[in-house]
Amino acid sequence: METLEDPSGVPIEQLCLTVRWYTALKGNGVHTVGQLAALPEPRLMAMGHSPRTTMGELRDKVGRLGLSPWDAPAPAANQAVGQGPGSGPPGRLLSWALRAAGALLLPAGERARWVEEWKGELCLLRSRKAQARFIASLLLAGGRKLAVTLRQLRPGHKQVGRR
């Protein structure tokens, strides 16, 4: 597994956490991986509020960045369905590239939908290399083609085709 030299500054958005964990952490002022890793397990468990917000998810996601701040019982126990060995959240650079691709190429009204879709699929790719290839493909041709397509299909455009 590729690890960052110092992942503590990575925003928690890049961990691809469940909505429950994400909102719980943000609500408690936790914005970076470093802040998250500094919290003791009992405090995190108290934030979780739900059986679904298990520590296993946090151990797994933070562990992928090379950190192990909490005692992990079984690394494979929380391996999510659809995530093969080595899969995980995209690195900071890849996430930035993805957002940049969306911001540069897509119409504002469509941007959030496509970036969210791409980010979800990026998390399923098995390696950083595959993730980089995915983004490169979008940046080099796909985003531009998609932007042209979406602009052509906008209401008011001559060739409106929306239902």
Partner 1 sequence: MTPPKMTLQTKMVLRLALQEPGREWYGLQMIEATGLPAGTIYPIIARLESHGWLESRWEDPAEHEAEGRPRRRYYRFTPDGAEWARLALAPARRPGAAVPLHAAPRSGQPGTEA
Nearest to 142 by CA among 162, 122, 114: 114
Size of the site for partner 1 (CB under 8 A): 44
Separation between Cα atoms, residue 109 and residue 111, nearest integer Å: 6
DSSP helix/strand/coil, 137? helix
Q: Which residues pair with residue 32 across a beta bridge?
A: 11
The H helix count followed by the E strand count for the chain is 8, 0
Give backbone dihedrals phi and psi of 32, rounded to 5 degrees, phi first: -125, 165
Separation between Cα atoms, residue 2 and residue 69, nearest integer Å: 18
Separation between Cα atoms, residue 24 and residue 93, nearest integer Å: 25
Task: Choose the stretch contacting partner 1; rule: CB under 8 A; options: 3-11, 33-41, 62-70, 138-146.
Answer: 138-146
Given the complex with partner 1, which of 109 and 161 has the nearer CB atom? 161
Given the complex with partner 1, which of 29 and 161 has the nearer CB atom? 161
Residue 17 interacts with partner 1 (CB under 8 A): yes or no: yes
Residue 36 interacts with partner 1 (CB under 8 A): yes or no: no
CB of 5 to partner 1, least distance (A): 25
Using CB under 8 A as the criterion, what x/- string covers residues 49-78 for binding partner 1?
---x----x--xx----------------x
List residues near partner 1 by CB under 8 A. 16-20, 52, 57, 60-61, 78, 80-83, 113-114, 116-121, 123-125, 133-134, 137-143, 145-146, 148-150, 153, 159, 161-163
